[in-house]
Structure 1
Amino acid sequence: MANPFTLVLAILTVESSYLQEVEHPAKIVPDTVQFWFAPECQWRIKTFAIDHDIHVHQIRVDDKSARLTTEFAQNNIKKSYGDVTDTVLVLEFPDPKNDADVQRILRENKVTGKLEAVKEGYYFYNPDRGEYRTKSKPK
């Protein structure tokens, strides 16, 4: 990885609710699948647009040589969400705390949401700048 912070972002063609078990074509805000890679941790994130639910899973890798790659993330997204994937982007951030750089990178990639910091130590792409929080647990 060229930069220490990388977001693999899949913007889906659907909006859904895990709680209500519904999914339909996205009208305003799409669901997303994301992988956040940082020097000390890796995360998989799924946003559900209808009710602003978010599922986050920290990927624990003790051996740095066994860390996931952006290629793994892209293949995982294609395998699991290929039929509802609109766009997959690999965004590299030299410093995710530098808002000017973050906004420039998002703008260059034609995404209008924001990169949001979460106290647990990861960032995620918030597609509509809404309040996302965990409201359901994966079955």
Structure 2
Amino acid sequence: MTTQLILFRLAIQSSYVANSEEPATEDAFDTIQFFASNGSAWRIKTYATDQDVHVWSLDGGELGDLVELAVSNTEANYGDVLEEGYIIDSETGLDGVREQLEARGLPPHLNETSVGAVFWTPPGSSYKSKSRPGN
């Protein structure tokens, strides 16, 4: 089964809690990510300012093509601050994802959540859920 990580780097670093946003730096930038494995999929948003992360489960029945969903959703909502994107497909699970990250010049730093979602962050960072949308 294919494991997918779709990673978009944004030109901003923000805080959900403080409702703030400033230009990204080389080491601090927000991301939008989509991850799929074993029939489940998630959308992940990282907030660089306070190393916060929000994870949403996507309904597989309505999912369709994850790449198409990821690109259209991210362009529609973040097109003005979208810097670059990576689409990674692996037939060898997370090991293959790590290899492909390295091949693209990205550190293979993956975070695994208790719900099964996996997301990329820069090395030396410590992202965890610190806020909830709507709070």
- Smaller-chain TM-score range? 0.7 to 0.9
Identical residues among aligned pairs (%)? 30
Q: Is contact 1:114–1:129 with CA below 8 Å preserved after alignment?
A: no
Aligned partners of 2:41 and 2:64: how far apart in 1?
8
Q: Is contact 2:88–2:97 with CA below 8 Å preserved after alignment?
A: no
Aligned partners of 2:97 and 2:86: how far apart in 1?
14
Q: TM-score scaled to structure 2, two decimals?
A: 0.88
Q: Residue 46 of structure 2 aligns with which residue?
A: 47
The alpha-carbon deviation at position 37 of structure 1 amounts to 1.4
Aligned partners of 1:131 and 1:8: how far apart in 2?
20
Instruction: Out of 66-75 and 77-86, give the one that drifted further.
Output: 66-75
List gaps (5 residues or longer) in structure 1.
none
Instruction: Out of 46-55 and 103-112, give the one that drifted further.
Output: 103-112
**Correspondence 1:115 to 2:110:** yes
Instruction: Label 1:89 to 1:82 Cα distance change in 2 as closer, same or farther (>3 A).
Output: same
The alpha-carbon deviation at position 96 of structure 1 amounts to 3.1
The alpha-carbon deviation at position 47 of structure 1 amounts to 0.2
Report the AA paired with residue 49 of structure 2.
Answer: I
The alpha-carbon deviation at position 22 of structure 1 amounts to 0.7
**Correspondence 1:17 to 2:12:** no
The alpha-carbon deviation at position 119 of structure 1 amounts to 2.2
Aligned partners of 2:113 and 2:7: how far apart in 1?
17
Aligned partners of 1:62 and 1:103: how far apart in 2?
28
The alpha-carbon deviation at position 108 of structure 1 amounts to 1.5
Q: Secondary structure at the match of 1:57?
A: strand
Q: Is contact 1:102–1:115 with CA below 8 Å preserved after alignment?
A: no
List gaps (5 residues or longer) in structure 2.
none
The one of 82, 85, 88 aligned to 2:82: 85
**Correspondence 1:96 to 2:102:** no
- Structure 1 segments, 4+ long, off by >6 Å, are none
Q: Secondary structure at the match of 1:91?
A: strand
Q: Is contact 1:113–1:129 with CA below 8 Å preserved after alignment?
A: no
The alpha-carbon deviation at position 129 of structure 1 amounts to 4.0
Instruction: Label 1:55 to 1:116 Cα distance change in 2 as closer, same or farther (>3 A).
Output: same
Q: Is contact 2:5–2:97 with CA below 8 Å preserved after alignment?
A: no
